[in-house]
Structure 1
Amino acid sequence: METMIILLAGVLVSVATYLLLSKNMIRVVLGTAILSHAVHLLLMTMGGLKIGSVPILGDTVETYTDALPQALILTAIVISFAVTAFFLVLVYRTYQTTGTDNLLEMKGTEEDE
């Protein structure tokens, strides 16, 4: 199961890299969002997919599941959601100002000056 999730994270990283290298700003934002999801999957897999009980003291259960990876991923999801929302607002404002979302057109050339 862990191998399949690692392969899925690899596919997500390759899709995100393709999107990050595009000329369209919306695709770049989607690429950053997909890349963050790939990192979340990778962190969850590195934390281990363990089966156990909740970590409550006083139980007679012998194996417990570590809640730290889930807490770190939850925090990272919230942060990546905020960064994606900021990027979307930035792209919208840039489109309003320049009238295009093509990165090469925004770059300009020496002939334009």
Structure 2
Amino acid sequence: MSSNLTQRVASVLWPAFMVAAAAELVFFGLVDPLDLSVYGAPIGEDRMHIYSLGFLFFWALGTAVSAMTGLLHKTSFEVNHPAVTTVRTTRAIYRAKVSRHAGGRHAVHM
């Protein structure tokens, strides 16, 4: 896995993990896991299984929210051209703006 991809995955999963831990503490601090039921049937007999399922649920929810935040931080060019790396994109945009500039000066207008 590339370093950039590793950083992106970690920047999504780590905050989601922390939020899941806090959400589980708050939720199960207020609700007894054995009182939970789905359509009138109890979820399980063992508290540890319910704690684990709750944590995985909260982590999945946090991951979805974190991933959406990461997606919203991308520029429209990064969303529409995912195969182009950021360094190549930045250089290409800089060269295009410098070459279009009239008067021979190398000023970049952003």
Higher Cα Rg, which structure:
2
TM-score when normalising by structure 1: 0.36
